[in-house]
Amino acid sequence: MHPSARISAAIEILGDLEIRRRPASDALKDWGLSHRFAGSKDRAGIASLVYDALRRRACARYIMKSETPRAEMIGALVFARDMTNEEIESHFSGVGHAPAPLSDEERANLFARDLSGAPDWVLGDYPEWLEPHFARAFGADAVAEGRGLATRAPLDLRVNALKATRPEMLAELAHLDAQTCRFAPLGLRIAQGSAGRGAALDAEPAYARGMVEVQDEGSQIAAALCRAAPGEKALDLCAGGGGKTLALAASMDNQGELFATDSDGRRLTPIFPRLERSGARNVTVRAPRGKADPVADLVGQCDLVAIDAPCTGVGTWRRNPDAKWRTRPGALEQRQKAQDEVLARGARYVKPGGRLAYVTCSPLCEENEDRLAAFLVDHADFYCENAADSLALAGIEGLDAAASSHGPGLRLTPARHDVDGFYVALLHRKN
């Protein structure tokens, strides 16, 4: 397909999203099934255009003075692709499968590219209802942090210490220009292509043999801060697909016991082949059955309980840009209730002297520091670990400035650390 035809296809898919209000991945899949002539490179290119438009939707609509999918696409070519006015006009030629030529109004708005007077939520490309929450979390940096969340994410890998070392994997993946991550001691980073096309990792023997796993550097740091140690009894209470479970198992060097569970057993499905590939042998997966607690026998027994709490997912917008426009204000209140419940539940499994790790992929104070403050009111037998101590004990350098200014814990963001947005706090149960 000609690049202009890809732009037309992306506009069509954006229109479908506007009407049907569904995940972008579903719309892209349906488009591919109904347009089988499009090859894998075409589908990847179209997906990249769609996601770029979703990343910069607010700015695009503002300069184009329109909320149509076509306006969003024109704006995406400005803000995400850095195209000149002339390049954009050449793609909107109306020739063949190219979009129709720009109208006089569209051309005037494109050439003006006027963001003067735009509010912070437009400049930062995040939903208007989140503006007070961003202002509270980031203060004067709200726009910069929003723009950081509107960038493309790189491909981060975690070297599986059960099977390989980072130097070995640097050499193995040198043809992908793999580089070491800034902070995660076992992290590797592979940059995305100019159009957002990533490496074909499934074809890499190192991945197939479980020597590396896909895991954002921020998630790797969160797992490292848990300090899972050989011989401990640990519980991953919100294991999902198993990303942090695998990291914890490697930290334990297959010694001790690690239990993985999730409130939704369906989310655990990917964990089984990943565990087999990784060589982790100390993990027991406990799927829920009815209303019975699948880990009831672990109450008061665990050295470590890791909670990757359900949240709004604001910190993952680089990878899921459609999610920021589909999330509604009521979701924040619902997530806070779920976070309080999972924190209270997780505390039950921690033995005296044990640790409770609270992790979210959200930068919002309401989901992080506020939740810990509420938890500590009702759990006087717990206290929060100092952020500097957490970093020092985990052997992570260069992140002292990540300590939260709103309370305990650490905040990681794309703008400051070039990772997905994460919050991590360690609590201890008194002896």
Tell how strand 350-360 and strand 302-308 pair up: parallel
Beta bridge mates, 289: 292
Cβ burial of 230 (10 Å; 0-12, 13-18, 19+) is exposed
Secondary structure (3-state) at 373? helix
Is 389 annotated to bind a ligand? Reply is no
Residue 98 tokens read as: 């190219």
Torsion of CA 59, 65, 70, 72, to 10 degrees: 10
Angle, alpha carbons 420-426-430 (nearest 5°): 170
Q: Where would I find the beta strands (DSSP E) of 78-180?
A: 155-159, 179-180
The active-site residue, picked from 302, 361, 365, 384, is: 361
For residues 283 and 249, the answer to whether their CB atoms sit within 8 Å is yes
Which residue in this structure is represented by tokens 């993946």?
173
Q: What is the largest CA-CA distance in the chain?
A: 74
Q: Which residues of 32-63 are buried (b: 16+ CB within 10 A; e: fewer)?
A: beeeeebeeebbbbbbbbbbbbbbbbbbbbbb
- Cβ-based neighbour number of residue 325 at 10 Å: 17
Is 262 annotated to bind a ligand? Reply is yes
Residue 302 designated active-site:
no
Question: Rounded to an integer, what distance in angstroms lies between the CA atom of residue 148 and that of residue 318?
Answer: 8
Beta bridge mates, 212: 159
Rg (alpha carbons) of the chain, rounded to whole number: 23
DSSP 8-class letter at 429: E
- Cβ-based neighbour number of residue 120 at 10 Å: 16
Q: Which residues are annotated as a binding site for S-adenosyl-L-methionine?
A: 262, 308
Residues with catalytic annotation?
361
Known binding positions = 262, 308
